[in-house]
């Protein structure tokens, strides 16, 4: 069955009385990414039941909705997605669904002067706004607004929950500024598998180099790898970083290429770029994800930071 026909059929089916209703009175929310799902849980509290389509290690740039996803989104009270072309393979479907159901792109509403434009496509923007807590606060507010519009009678609860979560994010932002600020200026170079850390670099004065572009769908050719090996050697960069949702193949090629030229490069750590950590762990929350990244980057680049992060909650060896 064609996707649009399937959406239309499911929309009619779940609009019928008694069909697809939740067993309790909680608001049924479906979020595309783990980061958005976490924001919905933090703001919604006991008022919501949230399902994330993309779990740990899943790349949102290439993710395509399954039939199970379509059913979940069609029967939900609210669907939250990121926008800014992050869910590139799902975008047509989400726009189609939004004509019939309650669907909100929570990052699309951010002021354009806060966003980094794509180098090759001026009408497209870097979607990785979650990398900077001060930017992510704006997305949390959009999640709050969507929940209130969907269930206005719970507005006070959502507002109180959001305020508490935003306070925690403010604390995270202060930790990030202090930790990265402790990295010697000459060491502030972050080389990763793909260009997901542009906002991070802009916010904290770090030069960010991605082997691939903003989307993991882009390819890194041999010329790109060779040029980056030259960069590692010439600038005496000794630490590079892998990502949980991107293959480490290109990073390993860089390390081997530098080694062949007598320059030792190590992996400074594994970063969460487009997905959070394992469910039911601290790193499986937005705050834990960014705490891990900041602590890992700062320590690898020469800062003196707590081994277990901002609140001593990072997993051992994280």
| pTM greater than 0.85 (yes/no) | yes
Rounded to whole angstroms, how far apart are CA atoms 256 and 277? 28
Task: Give pLDDT, residue 317.
Answer: 65
Q: What is the dihedral of CA 40, 41, 44, 50, to 10 degrees?
A: 80
**Least confident residue range of 3-7, 75-79, 186-190, 208-212:** 3-7
Domains of the chain: residue spans and CATH: 3-172 (3.40.50.1980), 176-300 (3.40.50.1980)
CB 144, CB 159: distance < 8 Å = yes
Confidence band (pLDDT; 50, 70, 90) for 245?
confident
Of the candidates 110, 136, 131, the one whose C-alpha atom is nearest the C-alpha of residue 204 is: 131
Residue-wise pLDDT for 199-235, tens only, equals 999 999 999 998 876 554 455 567 888 899 999 999 9
Residue 194's DSSP bridge partners are 212
The yes-or-no verdict on residue 22 having pLDDT over 80 is no
Residue-wise pLDDT for 255-313, tens only, equals 999 999 999 999 999 999 999 999 999 999 999 999 999 999 999 999 999 999 999 99
Report the pLDDT averaged over residues 146-168: 98
Rounded to whole angstroms, how far apart are CA atoms 81 and 86? 9
């Amino acid at each position: 069955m064609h996707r649009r026909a399937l959406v239309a059929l499911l929309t009619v089916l779940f609009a019928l009385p008694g069909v697809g209703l939740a067993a309790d009175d909680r608001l049924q929310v479906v979020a595309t990414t783990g980061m958005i799902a976490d924001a919905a849980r933090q703001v919604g509290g006991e008022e919501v039941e949230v399902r994330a389509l993309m779990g740990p290690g899943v790349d949102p740039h290439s993710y395509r909705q399954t039939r199970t996803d379509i059913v979940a989104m069609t029967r939900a009270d609210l669907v939250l997605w990121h926008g800014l072309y992050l869910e590139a393979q799902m975008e047509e479907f989400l726009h189609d669904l939004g004509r019939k159901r309650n669907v909100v792109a929570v990052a699309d509403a951010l002021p354009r002067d806060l966003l980094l434009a794509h180098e090759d496509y001026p009408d497209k923007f870097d979607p990785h706004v979650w990398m900077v807590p001060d930017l992510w606060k704006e997305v949390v507010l959009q999640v709050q607004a969507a929940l209130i519009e969907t269930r206005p009678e719970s507005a006070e609860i959502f507002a109180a929950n959001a305020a508490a979560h935003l306070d925690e994010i403010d604390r995270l932002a202060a930790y990030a500024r202090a930790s990265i600020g402790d990295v010697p200026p000459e060491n502030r170079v972050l080389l990763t598998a793909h260009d997901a850390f542009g906002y991070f670099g802009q916010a904290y004065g770090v030069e960010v180099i991605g082997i691939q572009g903003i989307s993991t769908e882009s390819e890194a050719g041999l010329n790109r790898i060779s040029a980056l090996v030259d960069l590692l050697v010439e600038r005496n960069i000794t630490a590079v970083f892998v990502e949980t949702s991107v293959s480490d193949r290109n990073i390993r090629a860089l390390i081997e290429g530098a080694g062949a030229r007598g320059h030792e490069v190590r992996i400074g750590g594994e970063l969460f770029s487009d997905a959070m950590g394992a469910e039911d762990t601290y790193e499986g929350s937005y705050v834990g994800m960014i705490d891990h990244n900041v602590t890992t980057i700062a320590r690898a680049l020469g800062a003196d930071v707590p081994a277990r992060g901002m609140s001593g909650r990072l997993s051992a060896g994280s």
